[in-house]
Amino acid sequence: MKLTPEQIAQFDRDGYLFFPGHFTPEETRRMTDEVPRLYEVRAPWNVREKGRDAVRTNFAAHLVSPVFARLARHPRMLAPVEQLFGERLYMHQFKINGKMAFEGDVWQWHQDYGTWLNDDHMPTERAMNVAIFLDEVDETNGPLMFIPGSHKKGVLQAGHDLSTTSYPLWTLENEQVAALVERAGGRHGGIVIPKGPAGSMLMFHSCLVHASSSNLSPWNRVSVYLSLCAVSNHIRRFKRPEYIAHREFTPLEHLADDCLLSAPPVDTPWAAGMPASALETSSEDLDFSTLATADR
């Protein structure tokens, strides 16, 4: 998959690209069928909604599930990001966000790179979010909301919200969000909601301001979120556990385009359980001066 010049210009202007129906119903079903098995596990990598049993986000499924290990290496996802960065990628973060019917809580207005900068000391915003819908998304089931063009403002001042939900975020003040929305067009395009069928894919800039409301509908909105980082831009601090911010900087190798259906063998190093080392953290920046660079 290769982006057209028009798509590249659109991404530069708006900060996101949307590909409805990017994965076939059968490919999407292979992924959807894996989710209940992952969500039922009582483990640190399953963060549940505040005061509820519903899973808010599942981390590191690509290290546990062969299906998601294949998705992590899918060329329909890797190729366009590599094209934009001009560099190979590693997986900084892999999440399956639940936003379950009647129980999915809000995700406050934020930039993902703000968290990666503050918590992980990622040097620059050369990282991309890719979201894949496992359910149909419409305006009723807590969809993502973007402020188009907000990535052009760079890293914005944010506060560390430790109380609103079960997962801490570096979030923006209401006044900041209102100003960004007005700048982007106010009620006439200042907030956009990409909607589409299961299997649709979103690519969005790590500085794009986004949020989602709670899901009060009777329909789930489960999505996979892959945060792909340029290898040269790897994180410098391991303040967060490895299941949240990964420490393997080896470039991801492309599988065949039909990999979700043909099911080639893949490595799933945490299938038998998360290693104890994955919980070790450090507040100090690490010395990566000897990190091998031959494969970059």
> How many Å apart are CA 204 and CA 275, to the nearest integer?
31
Cα–Cα separations (whole angstroms), residue 228 to 92, 206, 233, 235, 265: 6, 10, 10, 12, 22
At 106-123, the pLDDT tens digits run 778 989 998 899 899 999
pLDDT of 277 reads: 86
> How many Å apart are CA 269 and CA 62, to the nearest integer?
9
> How many Å apart are CA 163 and CA 190, to the nearest integer?
28
Residues in contact with 295: Cβ distance below 8 Å, sequence separation at least 6, in sequence order = 88, 231, 250, 251
Mean model confidence pLDDT for the chain: 90
pLDDT of 46 reads: 84
Mean pLDDT of 234-250: 95
At 29-73, the pLDDT tens digits run 999 999 999 999 888 888 877 677 788 889 999 999 999 999 999
Q: What angle do CA 215, 219, 220 make, to 5 degrees?
A: 70
pTM of the model: 0.90
209's tokens: 């301001």
Percent of the chain beyond pLDDT 70?
93
Domains of the chain, with CATH numbers?
A: 5-279 (2.60.120.620)
pLDDT of 49 reads: 75
At 202-217, the pLDDT tens digits run 999 999 999 988 899 9
Burial of 186 (C-beta count, 10 Å sphere; 0-12/13-18/19+): exposed
Q: What angle do CA 71, 73, 75 make, to 5 degrees?
A: 95
Residue 184: half-sphere exposure toward Cβ, Cα within 13 Å:
24
